Amino acid sequence: MKLKDIETWVTVPPTGIGGSFWVIVRITTDNGIQGIGECYGIPVSGDIACQMVEDTFERYIQGESPHNIETMFRKVYSAGFTQRPDISMMGVFSGIEIAVWDILGKALEQPVYNLLGGQFHSRLRTYTYLYPKRPEDKGYSETSGDVYHDGDAAAQRALDYLEMGFTAVKQDPAGPYSFQGGRELSLHELSRSEYSVRRIREAVGDRADILFGTHGQMTTSSAIRLAKRLEPYDPLWFEEPCPPDQIGAMGKVAAATSIPVSTGERLTTKLEFHECLKAGISILQPDIGRSGGIWETKKIAMLCELYNAQIAPHIYCGPIAHAAAAHVAFSSPAFLILETIQTDFHTDLLKKSLIWEDGYMIPPVEPGLGIELNEKAILANPYETGGRLHLEMCQVSLSSNNQKTITELDQSK
């Protein structure tokens, strides 16, 4: 059995929840078995991302046996004389590699987790961001308020998710994300963050964990100041408080607070995650569509065991990467919790999806990833050439702007 052909699509989630577009891959073997995968966050236009995937497949993957995962990884990891973590190339490879594992599972008539050491967990605990009740509100409505920054609105929305069965919710009220890197949060932003967490804790009590998300907005000192304000409300984690290229800084934050520090959505390969563990970060959040695929993410999960750390896969993408992350999680003793997104489009994109019950993911019994693609839904939501990137940062320096400007940028996201 050899890997023969590849197809790629870019599809646009109508609400924007899960990103501006998803890159979907389908590979067919010479004996007709098909597997699907998904690339995460390749930082170029969707149409160019597809060209990168197809070029990489033709250069390094086409004609290989699907069993040769290590060989394929090393070829792509070293592509163009690089031989180091490359976020774009690993995003490309991850989608291809996920599709290869889907093929292997189907060929062997086993769920993928059985090929990764077997099912360790009977179900997976999941969490969600506090998304608006009506996605078309983009986070704010006159009736529900701003769930992203308004602590009162966030607390009410948290109760909605508890009724759905979730036992953990996440919010990032700290402020906008700028290309400049870490900055010192204003007193207003610090107070808003503290108020939000306090109101959510008052609403959910001990029925749910609070996950405090940030996206690298802060300097080390600012992150420590914020952590001290959040400690009384006992968050499960403090996520990526400093820019992702400042792993040492995040380690300093981890040493200065009782809140576990987590990071990983913008990192790739076991090398970068090992640096996090050595720095004292105790929760790793690889996104399987970027971190190197299923096998590399399994290795990252195994590294966690050596540091008494845990893995909490990041999901801000479509349902294929979600399914792939679930298979790694089912087989990993160090698994903590899995991010999940539930929108109508996530459901529509698949003819057959994984089963989610009362805040927990149930293991699939079907071979491969256990999901089936709905091609019609993909084609009905096409990407416009040269459109938005998967995620984008504001392209202005915030340190030189006043609080009014920062607030306006926040509300425009």
Q: Tell me whether strands 124-129 and 360-362 are parallel, antiparallel or unpaired.
A: antiparallel
Predicted confidence (pLDDT) per residue in 263-297, tens digit: 999 999 999 999 999 999 999 999 999 999 999 99
Q: What is the pLDDT of residue 412?
A: 45
Same structural domain, 103 and 118: no
Are 37 and 95 in contact, with CB atoms under 8 Å apart? Answer: yes
Residue 75 lies in a domain: yes
Residues in the chain where the model's pLDDT stays below 50: 404, 411-413
Residue 160 lies in a domain: yes
Q: Token pair 């009014």 is at which residue?
A: 404
Q: Measured between alpha carbons, how far is residue 193 from residues 123, 150, 185, 188 in Å?
A: 32, 9, 10, 9
Handedness of CA 200, 202, 208, 214 (dihedral sign): positive
Give CA–CA dist 292/254, Å, rounded: 26
Are 203 and 179 in contact, with CB atoms under 8 Å apart? Answer: no
Q: What is the pLDDT of residue 413?
A: 42
Same structural domain, 47 and 128: no
Burial 66-85 (b: 16+ CB within 10 A, else e): beebeebbebbbebeeeeeb
Please provide residue 106's backbone torsions phi and psi, each rounded to the nearest 5 degrees: -70, -40
Give CA–CA dist 402/75, Å, rounded: 49
Residue 391 lies in a domain: no
Predicted confidence (pLDDT) per residue in 207-225, tens digit: 999 999 999 999 999 999 9
Q: What is the CATH number of the domain that holds 275?
A: 3.20.20.120
H helices of 38-86, in order, are 46-56, 69-77
Are 20 and 389 in contact, with CB atoms under 8 Å apart? Answer: yes
Q: What is the pLDDT of residue 249?
A: 98
Total length of the chain:
413
Residue 388 lies in a domain: no
Q: Which two tokens stand for residue 30?
A: 């010479």
Q: What is the pLDDT of residue 384?
A: 86
Same structural domain, 316 and 191: yes
Domain count, the chain: 2
Same structural domain, 98 and 233: no
SS3 assignment, position 393:
coil
The DSSP secondary structure of 15-34, one letter per residue, reads: T-TT-S-EEEEEEEETTS-E
Burial 21-59 (b: 16+ CB within 10 A, else e): bbbbbbbbbeeebbbbbbbbbbeebbbebbebbbebbee
Give CA–CA dist 2/214, Å, rounded: 43
Q: What is the pTM of this model?
A: 0.94
Same structural domain, 155 and 46: no
What is the domain range of residue 181?
114-368
Among the candidates 344, 368, 392, a domain finishes at 368
Same structural domain, 54 and 18: yes
